[in-house]
Amino acid sequence: MLTGKLCGRSFIRGFLIEMENKDCVFCKIVNKKIPAEVIYEDDKCLVIPDKFPATKGQSLVITKKHEDYIMNLDSKVYQHIFNVARKISLAIDKAFDTERTCIVVEGFEVPHVHIRLHPAYEKRLLTSGFEEGIIELKKVVNKIKENL
């Protein structure tokens, strides 16, 4: 097996893999070091329910590559995560009969690019949440997946 390092990156069997940020909770989730319920996953991003939702169905679209500012993403990855956000938002709307699902991008609490999909059940946005248990998170994941 070929392994090595090149400019802060590692490669295994000829595939270049970005190094994770060792302290980043989202890197740990992406790399399966912290368990998470998964709504959607591909080679560029992962979608999970927010463990601290302000509203039922709140979810996170997380890039697999660690980057702390969304405007630093490659334009193809940027477009891709917004396409995924749209797809999952429509499934959330259907699954939970929302008024709409809002998109929030800020990245201050966890400095790793992520899009928060924030379901709104009335014409206002609730922003503070509570920790959700694993059973409820699994129910949310299954309900969204049923509507993809």
Identify the residue with better confidence: 125 or 92. 92
**Residues 141, 146, 147, 148: is their CA dihedral positive or negative?**
positive
Query: Three-state secondary structure along the chain?
Result: CCEEEECCEEEECCEEEECCCCCCHHHHHHCCCCCCCCCEECCCEEEEECCCCCCCCCEEEEECCCCCCHHHCCHHHHHHHHHHHHHHHHHHHHHHCCCEEEEECCCCCCCCCEEEEEEECECECCCCCCCCCHHHHHHHHHHHHHCC
Looking at per-residue pLDDT, the higher value among 16 and 89 belongs to 89
d(CA 45, CA 63): 4
| Ramachandran angles phi, psi of 6, nearest 5° | -150, 110
Give the model confidence (pLDDT) of 9-26 as tens digits.
333 333 333 446 778 999
> Structure tokens of 54?
């302000």
Residue 125's pLDDT band (cuts 50, 70, 90): low
- Global confidence as pTM: 0.76
List the catalytic residue out of 66, 80, 112, 114: 114
Half-sphere exposure of 106 (CA within 13 A, CB side): 6
pLDDT above 90: residue 42: yes
Q: Which domains does the chain have, with CATH numbers?
A: 36-146 (3.30.428.10)
| Residue 78 CB partners (closer than 8 Å, separation 6+) | 70
Quick check: is 114 catalytic? Answer: yes
Whether the Cβ atoms of residue 98 and residue 121 lie closer than 8 Å to each other: yes
